[in-house]
Amino acid sequence: MQKEKVEFGNQVIEFDLEYRSRKTLGIIVLPDQNVLVKAPLQANLEKIKTRIKQRAPWILKQQRFFLRYHPLTPPRQFINGETHLYLGRQYRLKIISAEQNSVKLKGGFLEVYSAYHLETAFIKKLVLKWYFIRAKAKIEEYVAYWIEKFEKYQVKPSAIIIRPLTKRWGSCSPKGRILLNSELIKAPKGCIEYVIIHELCHLIYPNHTQKFFELLIKEMPDWERWKHRLEQWIA
């Protein structure tokens, strides 16, 4: 993966360039507005940049579209009273002095118990650990359900890996390994299931062909609604 950029008028389009064993050039604008370009192994860099310039109006349009859905709330400070998301619902952080460290949901609150209740760095560490544990448990639960549903297609992922990702919600490797972003735990259940189903469909159709979308529609008729909502829950 290498960083490249092109100038288009008075704007600069930066993109991540990845060479792969493929025949055509692929340009993807991710929800975080980053641009990913997948190029054939022997592709000429100048020709790639020329193609990026040709597609610049579309790229900028997509970036503006995703910008509309970036959250208006500032980065989390992990202090009393601020809101945190879990499965699409907002919970207010309540930090409580205690001898034992723990985190739990109670009513509309995300309660953090700690002897180091005045140290925001430690509170952040506790909360992020809690999120990851809940993500593993909940997402794996949803995955198990949909893997069973996809058995009728005689496919099964070789592995399911849940971890924090910076540029994508999920991916499926050529060998059938599905990677899911643990940050999905903040989004509504339907959004999480959309990503799971999307990646399971890739076990059958690796590319976004018409047949891929026909299968996606069959398994989740309202997938576009959930995709749209997910783009509003960018962390």
48-95 per-position pLDDT tens digit = 999 999 999 999 888 777 665 454 446 788 999 998 999 988 899 999
Query: Residues 160, 178: contact at Cβ < 8 Å?
Result: yes
Q: What does DSSP say about strands 83-86 and 35-40: parallel, antiparallel, or unpaired? A: unpaired
60-70 per-position pLDDT tens digit = 888 777 665 45
CATH architecture of the domain covering 137-230: 2-Layer Sandwich (3.30)
19-49 per-position pLDDT tens digit = 999 999 999 988 767 899 999 999 999 999 9
**Cβ atoms < 10 Å from Cβ of 216:** 21
Q: Determine the Cα–Cα distance for residues 139 and 132; give it in Å rounded to an integer.
A: 10
Q: Determine the Cα–Cα distance for residues 234 and 69; give it in Å rounded to an integer.
A: 8
Residue 156 token pair: 């099964």
| DSSP assignment of 194-210 | HHHHHHHHHTT-SS--H
- 126 pLDDT higher than 70: yes
Question: Which H or E run includes 69?
Answer: none
Domain coordinates in residue numbering, the chain: 2-67, 83-133, 137-230
Three-state secondary structure call for residue 181: strand
Question: According to the model, what pLDDT value does residue 235 have?
Answer: 43
Q: Determine the Cα–Cα distance for residues 68 and 75; give it in Å rounded to an integer.
A: 17
What residue type is assigned to position 137 of the chain?
A
Question: Which H or E run includes 224?
Answer: helix 223-230
| DSSP assignment of 70-121 | S-SSPPP---TT-EEEETTEEEEEEEEE-SS-EEEEETTEEEEEETTTT-HH
**pLDDT grade, residue 233 (50/70/90)?**
low
| DSSP assignment of 136-159 | HHHHHHHHHHHHHHGGGGT---SE
Question: Which H or E run includes 230?
Answer: helix 223-230
**Cβ atoms < 10 Å from Cβ of 195:** 23
171-226 per-position pLDDT tens digit = 999 999 999 999 999 999 999 999 999 999 999 999 889 999 999 999 999 999 89
